[in-house]
Chain A
Amino acid sequence: MIFFDYLSIVVSVLLLVIAFFAINSKKLINSVLFLSALSMVAVVAFIIMRAPDVAITEAVIGSGLVTALFVFTLLSVKRRELK
């Protein structure tokens, strides 16, 4: 179980670093993509804590559908700016 100890430390550091970038990046689309990456790292954390149901749901919804909704909002706004 030593492997899981090291993995949990790496995952914790990654969670904090990616969340900091997601909050502080200047461009909106970068912030949204970092949020998607944060979801993906959270899936690894769920698997470390033996929660496969939650991991599947977070992988489908958190990093798939929510990112798609953010990107569509930004896309429709971009198109309106060009007009």
Chain B
Amino acid sequence: MKKLFGLLITFALGLVIILALDNTVNFPRFGEVNLSERISGLYLSETNVEEVGSANLVTSIVLGFRTFDTLGEVTVLFISSLGVAFILGGTKQKRLDLKFKPNFMLRVGSNILLVIILITSFYIILHGHLSPGGGFPGGAMIASSVLLLYLADDRFRSNIKGFKVLEGVAGSLFVVIGLLGLVFATAFFANYLPTGIIGNLLSAGIIPILYVLVGLKVGSEIAGIIDNFLTEEEEEIA
């Protein structure tokens, strides 16, 4: 009875949302949007694209027009990983041991697979301004390679101190590169390197450097979260 009532109320809410959004002036129908009326028309205009110099327009927004936004987003991710470490972390920690014992073939095979995953993730990060991808999915791929090592080797503990240092260095360099924009140009996170030809690997000024730093930071943060979930405090077991 309660379930039916909840279903009715929520579906009524959905109908209200659909009727409210149905082809009003501010909300055109699905697929009939005129981009020249929006602010995105400015991002798509020829002079702005030449100024940033990134072939992938999503990247040119994430790290060109809205870099400050990205800095805040990376900060939110840092705070959430700090919270996970605060709740789950402890002084004496041991690995959560899994039910199965990995054999020799699994360990060697996973090492070969690890190399392939790392090469793919660095390719995705480095070509973030040319093709789909970039620092966020590439960093998550780095973290998933750490996850693979954890699953394939039952004694593996990642070097969590090293990840913390890497994360701090990447985050500070991100801000320092932004501050250098105040010296060489006029604004925080201004693009002061030459942008080059659109479509080349060495183009778009500071965007590839920033994306590599974002990738390292996201990868080390998510790897730290995974490490926190796969360890537990020692004294409760004993």
User: Contact mask B137-179 → A, CB, 8 Å, 1/0?
Assistant: 1001101100100000000000000000000000000000000
Q: Is A28 part of the contact surface with B, judged by Cβ < 8 Å?
A: no
Q: Does A26 contact B (CB under 8 A)?
A: no
Q: What residues of chain B lie closer than 8 Å to A75, measured between beta carbons?
A: 96, 98
Interface residues of A in 37-83 (CB under 8 A from B): 52-53, 55-57, 59-61, 64-65, 68-69, 72-73, 75-76, 79
CB pair B140 A61 closer than 8 Å: yes
B132's nearest neighbour on chain A, judged by CB, is: A52
Interface range, B side? 20 to 34
Identify the closest chain B residue to A54 (Cβ): B58
- Does A57 contact B137, Cβ atoms closer than 8 Å? yes
Q: Is the CB of A65 within 8 A of B96?
A: no
Shortest Cβ gap from A6 to chain B (Å)? 16
Is the beta-carbon distance between A56 and B137 smaller than 8 angstroms?
A: yes
Out of A61, A73, A76, name the residue touching B137 (CB < 8 Å).
A61
B50 vs chain A, min Cβ distance (A) = 21
With A52-B132, A53-B134, A57-B140 as contacts: A76 and B96 at CB distance below 8 Å: yes
CB neighbours of B147 from chain A (8 A): 65, 68
Grouping DSSP codes into helix (H, G, I), strand (E, B) and loop, the A interface class, with mixed when no group exceeds half, is: helix
The answer on a CB contact under 8 Å between B141 and A73 is no
Which residues does chain A contribute within 8 Å of B226, judged by CB atoms?
65, 68-69, 72
Main DSSP-derived SS at the B contact region: helix
* Contact-size category for A: 10 to 19
B222 close to chain A: CB less than 8 A:
yes
Q: Does B230 count as interface, using CB distance less than 8 angstroms?
A: yes
Residue of B nearest to A61 (CB): B140
CB atoms of B134 and A60 under 8 A apart: no
Q: Closest residue to B121 on the A side, CB-wise?
A: A60
A53-B133 in contact (CB<8A): yes
How long is the Cα–Cα vector from A76 to B229 in the complex, in angstroms? Answer: 9
Complex Cα distance, B222 from A55, in Å, reads: 19
User: Is B232's CB within 8 Å of the partner chain A?
Assistant: yes
Q: Within B176-203, which residues are at the interface with A (CB < 8 Å)?
A: none
**Chain B residues near A59 (CB, 8 Å)?**
137
Residue B210 CB within 8 A of the other chain: no
Point out residues on B near A: beta carbons under 8 Å. 56, 58-59, 96, 98, 124, 132-134, 136-137, 140-141, 143-144, 147, 222, 225-226, 229-230, 232
A-B contact pairs, 22 of them (CB 8 A): A52-B132, A53-B56, A53-B59, A53-B134, A53-B137, A55-B132, A56-B132, A60-B140, A60-B144, A61-B137, A64-B144, A65-B143, A65-B147, A65-B222, A68-B144, A69-B225, A72-B96, A72-B226, A73-B229, A75-B98, A76-B229, A79-B96
7 extra interface residue pairs, beta carbon distance < 8 Å, beyond A57-B136, A73-B229:
A52-B132, A60-B144, A64-B140, A68-B144, A68-B226, A76-B229, A76-B232
For the complex of A and B, list the 6 residue pairs with the smallest distance between their C-beta atoms, beginning with the closest: A52-B132, A57-B137, A60-B140, A72-B229, A56-B137, A53-B132
